[in-house]
Structure 1
Amino acid sequence: MRGKLLRSCSVLSFAALWSVPFSPIRAQEERVLTSSFGQEFNSYRWVWQAFLAQPLGRSCRFSFRQNLSSSLLALGQGGDRWKDDQTLAAELAWPVSGSILLHGGGRALRFWDRQSGLPNDFSRQELFVGTELVRRGVGRARFEAGPAREVRYAREEWGSHWEVVSEVPGFDIGGYAQEGTLTWGGSKVGGRTNLDQHLVYMVGREFLAGSADTIRVGWDRYRHDQYVNAELERERLRGSSLRLENRLQYALPLGAQAILATRYISEAVEVEQLVGGRSARSRARKEGGLANSLFLRRRGGRSKEELELAYQTQEARYLVPQAESHVPFSRSVALVAPDNRWSLLTLASRLALTPSRRDSLTLALRVSKLQYDTPDTNNFDDHDELRVDVNSVWKRRLNPFSILEVRGGAGLYHLVYIFGERSADNQWSRVFRLSPTVELRPSRAVRFRQRFEVMANYVDYDFEEPLQATRSFVFRRFLAEDSLRVDLSASLRLQVALGWQAEENGRLYWQKFEERPLVGRVERRVRIGLRRSFGSRSMLEAGFAYYEREESRFELRGNGYERVPSGRYIARGPILSFQFWGRGATGIRANLHRQRVSSRLSSPYSTNFITLIARWGW
């Protein structure tokens, strides 16, 4: 039955493609069909997409667009669980004059869910007619309206929808370049009203070469009424936001440049629970923030310097009844966090040097301090955090055939809680990383790359109770990777990739700089592939992949800790890839990977990873 449904959806979508074409945007003829399939373990997904733009006669245009996504979660004896998501849109447009365009069509949305176990099924259909006014060099205005139908929780409702869009792509007043967009739309279906308003305005001017000023204003307001359960209880979500941005750019002597940016944002969100069409209870949040940054950069003959100083602050206030301060009633907006204010101060610099033709060096430093405060005396989350990151990259060409690259970095992070009730969570975190890489190219046909990496992360808490679970810990990792690519001929390539990784977790005693090892992991990866190209449009690759992971724990025996194996996982299998692209948008791509999996926790089994994509354009 389910297979028939999928085939029916596919046939219906392609039949609709031929019966209802359209596109008011593209005047040229275009037809594209795309079908794809993917499998990963017990998850399957099918996607069908169709698009058609077809001019009719000398002036009329049709378009059709469809997207159907169907997923399956196969649970064996638990049954198969499906989920579908489909959208359709069709439109016919015809010009009345050189600047007036009439259009009409329909849209449909369908969501069908049998995976989550929740009553999420929803469908919406709407028809529309409207007009569009286009004036070259001035802008575009578009209006549409029509009936709408929605079905949710087995309840059918009718109503109407509308949308007005006005765009001014660019005009000049007194040397100031300006542009703006205004959108107002909404719907009224079954007593529920949805409204959306958006405004964007930008003005800018270049005073001198490399010096300019830009101001951007954004304003949004919305109201959404929605059902929250099968009993058709409703909630109303209202919100508004204002965004102001200013960017000043100045050209300085000696090839330097300064950029000063300021951003202000104000937001308000309110959620109401409606009973009998009236507000039964509500809660709201108001936020405001300001960000300023100064960015300096200079480019010389053999160097490039960058310096940034930034400060950002934001405050949030929650208007929640005291009796409900920790009890959210909305599924979409919780609004239970305490009033808070935070600020972030950041200083960053970057220096790139090219001391010779064979060497390059990059140094980067970033220091930031975060302060988080709450006025609630019963809340003890107030804290400060200091973060310091240092990174470097040194690259040297040893000879015409080899390149050496060394990356290094260190991070220091300190978290301090202000109140004594949470002082036990104060911590230091130290991260160190070193990674050298060597790349050899003895000829155009051969490339060998070898990379090593050593990483250690030490997290040290100020207070540790011996009888509690591990808090202070250390994580260490060593990684070795090799890759080899050999072009055996102009159309045949051999690729080999090897990887070995060892990890270890343990309890940390920072004062003594000692560790009590707890668990360890070792991973091995091998991938071998042979790739054959057939011209520039097709490719076939076959290979084999092997992955092994060994897990162990450390037990105290005698005077030391002994590694005891605790688990082993092996996955291996063939890989096959094929790709062909014809002229235009036509092509097919397939990736197949079958694995045989062995584990100590289960019997051996096989699994597939499949991706198939086919696209037709004519």
Structure 2
Amino acid sequence: MMNRNRLFFFLCVFPFFTSFSLAQVPNNNLQLGFRQDFNNYLWKAAVHYIKAKEHSYQIVFQEDFNSNLLYVPALSPKWRDENRFTFSYKNNLLPWFSNIALLKAFSLSDKQSGYHNSAHSEFVALGFQLELQQLLNWKGLVGPKWDSRFNHDDQGVGLQVELLTDDLQWQGYHNRWQLRWSHDRIGRRQEHDFSLSCQFQREFYEGTSDSLVVTLNRLRRDYYITKAGDLETRSEKKWQVNNWLSYRIFPGLDFHLFSSLYLKKSDIEQIIQTKSTGRRERQDDGLRLKTQLDYRRNSLQTILGFLYHAQVQEYKFLGEITPSPFMGSIGIPDNQSKLFQLYSNLRWWPTSKDSLALHGSISCFRYDTPDTNNFDDRDELRINLCLTNRYRFHPDLALTVGAYVNLNHLIYIYAEHSADNNWSRIFRLSTNLTYQPNSNILWKQSAEVLAKYTDYDFEEILSSVRSFVFREFTLCNTVQVKLFANTKISFFYRLELEENGRLFWESFSEQLLERRQNNFFSWSTEYLLFDQFRLTLGVSGYFRQQWYYQTTTLGETIEKKQGRFCSYGPLFRIQLLNQTKQQAYVSLSMLRVKDSMDRLYYIHHIDLSLNWGI
């Protein structure tokens, strides 16, 4: 581990001290990086290079490597290494015909997840590309492929076909077609991808148009699930049709109608000792309708809309399915859900200094299952309101005030879950003040009060109080001052006051259980030493105090200090810039941490990166 740290530190920092002037980084570049967060270490290296000569050739070289270490002193180091490599060469034999050579490689060594994720694959292909200007682009590749997973080495053939059309016009309609197909047969396993997209669009006159998009996607993946070579096949087929219609009723008033229908079928089949032993089929069908009126006139903009979304999920099991790590849940019952929503947005500029925005929506969500042994059927009522006002007192001074209300009523239909019926009410008030008299001084202050009340409907028949309240006050200040042409200081402070308690909604009273005070601060000084070299020195910290409350048998409330947590430390940062683009970056910080148990330890954060044009 230390050898890798030293190597990447040298590679990332050495360019700072050898040259303070880098050419502007083009698309061709070399990237190196290292990052440490506590006990997590990440190394990155990448090379992206493209060289082309018009009507002659094109070379593409891409290499991306990531190495991650999770280091726990009591355990052995856990590594995860991933590498992706691509090389392609395209030679233009004719203005419209080219031959292509492709090499792709992928490798993964994973010792962190606990699963058999390690794998590697290589694909070598030859093919051609046919480009007919303003008509179509057709590309085909074929070649051998090697793949290794779960200690099984397979070899086979891979094929790729891509067909794209430009904007084809027919009777006033703009048509675009896209087809992508790939198929790999590797030993006993198959991988298949098919995607077809057709788009038809026409503008009848200004503000009135119709667009239709039809897509079909099919895929298949085969995975080894045991060292004996047992397979799991996952396949998916999806049809989707989207339509967007816009109609201008009169100047300033537009009507929009969006509709979407999709049918999706997913299968998981397990093949044990070359014989199918179980299969799960999942069918997802959905319909989405959205209508909207847009009105614009002078300083007023309004939107009024309605949304309907229905979805059905059905499961079918044939035989016995053995759960595998990435299969997902297999115990979800058949279900159907519906969402109805009415929403509105309004923006108004009464004066050149004042703006007002209002957003509101009311929704009803229904979830039903036909399974008589499942009691998750529920209804939800959701109400959201948001009002913000921004006023500019002076070109240098602006104030934004916001008020937010979120109400949610959850109702379980059956008595078995009705004890969880509850109202969730969230109220929030915020202000944001910005003062910038000139380019050298900036001051921002924001304050927010948040309250969340969760009240259970049938709490009077429960053995204990489940309703709770959470309140929070936040105050944040940011100050930036440019002292000299090459020196700027910044200060940040954030205060959070939080409390949790039991809620008695009928009397709107609270039994306080816990209280916290959080303080965040940072100070930094930034020096522009050269035209492209920026140095930042500073310090940051975090302090937390916590109290909890107990009620005695006499009804008295006793406050007890639960503990104190603090962390602080220095910050060092170097940035090498060129024409506003970051070329190199070094950030080092160390936090001295003392937790509530008076245990002392240190947290190091290192972030190094280099982006060098080649």
Normalising by the smaller structure, the TM-score range is over 0.9
Instruction: Give the aligned partner of residue 412 of structure 1.
Output: 407
Select the residue among 290, 299, 302 that pairs with 1:293: 290
Going from structure 1 to structure 2, the CA distance change for 1:579 and 1:329 (only over 3 Å counts) comes to closer
Counterparts of 1:177-216 in structure 2, within 5 Å, are: 177-216=174-213
Task: Supply the distance in 2 between the matched residues of 1:482 and 1:5 (Cα, whole angstroms).
Answer: 37
Contact 1:248 1:260 in 2 (8 A): yes
- SS of alignment partner, residue 424 of structure 1: helix
Once the two structures are superposed, residues 325-362 of structure 1 have per-residue CA deviations (whole angstroms, 9 ceiling, x without a partner) of 9x746742434311111000011111111112222111
Instruction: Give the aligned partner of residue 284 of structure 1.
Output: 281
Runs of 5+ consecutive residues of structure 2 not aligned to the other structure: 12-25
Counterparts of 1:253-402 in structure 2, within 5 Å, are: 253-321=250-318, 328=323, 331-402=326-397
User: Does residue 1:576 correspond to 2:572, yes or no?
Assistant: yes
Going from structure 1 to structure 2, the CA distance change for 1:571 and 1:4 (only over 3 Å counts) comes to closer
Output the amino acid matched with 1:295: Q
Task: Supply the distance in 2 between the matched residues of 1:30 and 1:160 (Cα, whole angstroms).
Answer: 33
Select the residue among 163, 168, 172 that pairs with 2:165: 168
Select the residue among 124, 132, 137 that pairs with 1:140: 137
- SS of alignment partner, residue 166 of structure 2: strand
Once the two structures are superposed, residues 347-403 of structure 1 have per-residue CA deviations (whole angstroms, 9 ceiling, x without a partner) of 111111111222211111111000111111111111100000111001222234322
Going from structure 1 to structure 2, the CA distance change for 1:438 and 1:560 (only over 3 Å counts) comes to farther
Instruction: Give the aligned partner of residue 542 of structure 1.
Output: 537
Output the amino acid matched with 1:92: Y
Contact 1:318 1:336 in 2 (8 A): no
Select the residue among 81, 101, 107 that pairs with 2:78: 81
Task: Supply the distance in 2 between the matched residues of 1:534 and 1:291 (Cα, whole angstroms).
Answer: 57
Instruction: Give the aligned partner of residue 16 of structure 1.
Output: none
Contact 1:450 1:482 in 2 (8 A): yes
Select the residue among 559, 566, 571 that pairs with 1:563: 559
Output the amino acid matched with 1:80: P
Output the amino acid matched with 1:345: F
Going from structure 1 to structure 2, the CA distance change for 1:298 and 1:67 (only over 3 Å counts) comes to same
Task: Supply the distance in 1 between the matched residues of 2:265 and 2:155 (Cα, whole angstroms).
Answer: 31
Task: Supply the distance in 2 between the matched residues of 1:450 and 1:281 (Cα, whole angstroms).
Answer: 61
Task: Supply the distance in 2 between the matched residues of 1:362 and 1:580 (Cα, whole angstroms).
Answer: 41
Q: How much does 1:287 deviate?
A: 1.0
Contact 2:314 2:335 in 1 (8 A): yes
User: Does residue 1:64 correspond to 2:61, yes or no?
Assistant: yes
Select the residue among 476, 482, 501 that pairs with 1:481: 476
- SS of alignment partner, residue 74 of structure 2: helix
Q: CA RMSD in A?
A: 2.4
Instruction: Give the aligned partner of residue 247 of structure 1.
Output: 244
Contact 1:404 1:438 in 2 (8 A): yes
Instruction: Give the aligned partner of residue 218 of structure 2.
Output: 221
Once the two structures are superposed, residues 102-133 of structure 1 have per-residue CA deviations (whole angstroms, 9 ceiling, x without a partner) of 01131111000122233221111111111111
Output the amino acid matched with 2:597: L
Instruction: Give the aligned partner of residue 553 of structure 1.
Output: 548
Q: How much does 1:234 deviate?
A: 0.5
Counterparts of 1:594-605 in structure 2, within 5 Å, are: 594-601=590-597, 603-605=599-601
User: Does residue 1:235 correspond to 2:241, yes or no?
Assistant: no
Q: How much does 1:583 deviate?
A: 6.6
Task: Supply the distance in 2 between the matched residues of 1:150 and 1:602 (Cα, whole angstroms).
Answer: 53
User: Does residue 1:533 correspond to 2:518, yes or no?
Assistant: no
Q: How much does 1:230 deviate?
A: 2.2
Instruction: Give the aligned partner of residue 21 of structure 1.
Output: none
Instruction: Give the aligned partner of residue 506 of structure 1.
Output: 501
Contact 2:277 2:320 in 1 (8 A): no
Task: Supply the distance in 1 between the matched residues of 2:300 and 2:261 (Cα, whole angstroms).
Answer: 34
User: Does residue 1:158 correspond to 2:158, yes or no?
Assistant: no
Select the residue among 387, 398, 422 that pairs with 2:417: 422
Q: How much does 1:492 deviate?
A: 1.7
My pick for the range that moved more, 200-209 or 277-286, is 277-286
Instruction: Give the aligned partner of residue 449 of structure 1.
Output: 444
Going from structure 1 to structure 2, the CA distance change for 1:445 and 1:583 (only over 3 Å counts) comes to closer
Select the residue among 576, 583, 587 that pairs with 1:587: 583
Q: TM-score, normalised by structure 1?
A: 0.92
Going from structure 1 to structure 2, the CA distance change for 1:4 and 1:610 (only over 3 Å counts) comes to closer
Going from structure 1 to structure 2, the CA distance change for 1:206 and 1:537 (only over 3 Å counts) comes to farther
Instruction: Give the aligned partner of residue 604 of structure 2.
Output: 608
My pick for the range that moved more, 526-535 or 539-548, is 526-535
Task: Supply the distance in 1 between the matched residues of 2:546 and 2:604 (Cα, whole angstroms).
Answer: 24
Task: Supply the distance in 2 between the matched residues of 1:198 and 1:287 (Cα, whole angstroms).
Answer: 18
Contact 2:278 2:320 in 1 (8 A): no
Task: Supply the distance in 2 between the matched residues of 1:356 and 1:4 (Cα, whole angstroms).
Answer: 61
Task: Supply the distance in 1 between the matched residues of 2:283 and 2:613 (Cα, whole angstroms).
Answer: 50
Going from structure 1 to structure 2, the CA distance change for 1:248 and 1:56 (only over 3 Å counts) comes to closer
Once the two structures are superposed, residues 10-38 of structure 1 have per-residue CA deviations (whole angstroms, 9 ceiling, x without a partner) of 99xxxxxxxxxxxxxxxxx9631100111
Task: Supply the distance in 1 between the matched residues of 2:573 and 2:367 (Cα, whole angstroms).
Answer: 51
Q: How much does 1:541 deviate?
A: 1.5
Q: How much does 1:511 deviate?
A: 1.2
Contact 1:584 1:617 in 2 (8 A): no
Q: How much does 1:64 deviate?
A: 1.2
Task: Supply the distance in 1 between the matched residues of 2:300 and 2:311 (Cα, whole angstroms).
Answer: 36
- SS of alignment partner, residue 484 of structure 2: coil
Number of corresponding residues: 598
Q: TM-score, normalised by structure 2?
A: 0.93
Q: How much does 1:452 deviate?
A: 1.1
Contact 2:278 2:317 in 1 (8 A): no
User: Does residue 1:493 correspond to 2:472, yes or no?
Assistant: no
Task: Supply the distance in 1 between the matched residues of 2:118 and 2:150 (Cα, whole angstroms).
Answer: 7
Q: How much does 1:516 deviate?
A: 1.4
Output the amino acid matched with 1:527: S
Going from structure 1 to structure 2, the CA distance change for 1:246 and 1:560 (only over 3 Å counts) comes to same
Output the amino acid matched with 1:133: L
Going from structure 1 to structure 2, the CA distance change for 1:567 and 1:399 (only over 3 Å counts) comes to same
Q: How much does 1:181 deviate?
A: 0.6
Quote the sequence identity (%).
28
Q: How much does 1:267 deviate?
A: 0.2
